[in-house]
A and B are shown apart, each in its own frame.
Chain A
Amino acid sequence: MGISGQDLIYACSAIGAGLAMIAGIGPGVGQGIAAGHGASAVGRNPGAKGDITTTMLLGQAVAETTGLYGLVVAFILMFVKPFS
């Protein structure tokens, strides 16, 4: 079985892309906490549902950023192939 250096680089890039997506854990936890607190806030004060939803979505979108950095790294490793 002949594995050239190029093949090895592609394989390691794919593994690295998979490892980079571990970054998705953080935003998942963060967004879940935000959504949970949003739900309890609506339960306590149903009148302020609009404001709460807006604030929650804004916070979630900001919390998503770190996960997206991991996504960008994974995309670069998979499609731009910087090491080949």
Chain B
Amino acid sequence: MILCEADFAIKGLVNYQMFGHTFWLTSTHVSMIIVTVVLLIFAFAANRCMKKAKDVPTGFQNVVEIIVEMLGNMVKTNMKQPKKFMNYIGTLFLFILICNLSGLLGLRGPTADYGVTLCLGLITFCLIQYNGIKCQKAGHFKALFEPIPLFFPINLIGEIATPISLSLRLFANMLAGTIIMALWYGLIPLVVVKLGIPAFLHAYLDLFSGCIQTYVFCMLTMVYVDDKM
């Protein structure tokens, strides 16, 4: 039989009891801890580098400046108050990007777990509502009844669908990538097909798709938040 066991499921590593429920520490947590540690090391290195920054940047300082400049330009061209949201968008961008790219290192990408992406979507949802109430006051709720009060249910569903569609988009893309890679590695017990071809699959599914989805997630977050301001 050609079909081997394709291995792409989230694996539970340690379980513990709390409040009468069983909780699992899964491979997603491990991957997320690794991603966070990588980002922290990068942050400390960048901080140390920028403390003794030179006028003419060299080496690592160049990399940090490119990243900050790129993120800054992205936020500036899309938002009315870029200063307020640069931190959040930058954090989101780097986190999702490293999560998506972690599939290259053999980890199971944290963004291929709906728990992670739904959390990211809900944070965005809270940000949208908070800014809407803060900037438009009562107009934020009045917008639900426009153009006529009959449209209230549709507008409400539209509001609630925002985080769901945002998170499902990222989740489904990364899950599809993870499953296709797992099928390719596990499906055919032939060494020859695992030599060069996975490189192309990784390049498309992890690199290209991951970068595009990161950009789309940040872009849509900015557009949604900016709409309410």
Contacts and interface: CB of A to CB of B under 8 A. Distances in A.
A14 to B, nearest CB: 13
* Secondary structure type dominating chain B contacts: helix
Interface residues of B, number: 16
Interface residue tally on A, bucketed by range = 10 to 19
Contact of A64 (B169, B215, B219, B220): B169
B212 A57 contact: yes
B173 A68 contact: yes
Given A61-B213, A62-B216, A72 B168 contact: yes
Interface in B200-224: 212-213, 215-216, 219-220
A61 B170 CA distance: 10
B121 to A, nearest CB: 13
The 7 closest A-B pairs by CB, nearest first: A68-B172, A61-B216, A65-B169, A72-B172, A61-B212, A71-B172, A57-B212
Given A71-B176, A72-B168, 5 more contacts: A57-B212, A57-B215, A58-B216, A65-B168, A72-B175
Contacts of A61: 169, 212-213, 215-216
Interface of A: 57-58, 61-62, 64-65, 68-69, 71-72, 75, 79
Contacts of A69: 168, 172
Contacts of B91: none
A29 B195 CA distance: 34
A58 B176 contact: no
B165 interface: yes
B104 interface: no
Contact of B175 (A57, A64, A75): A75
B64 interface: no
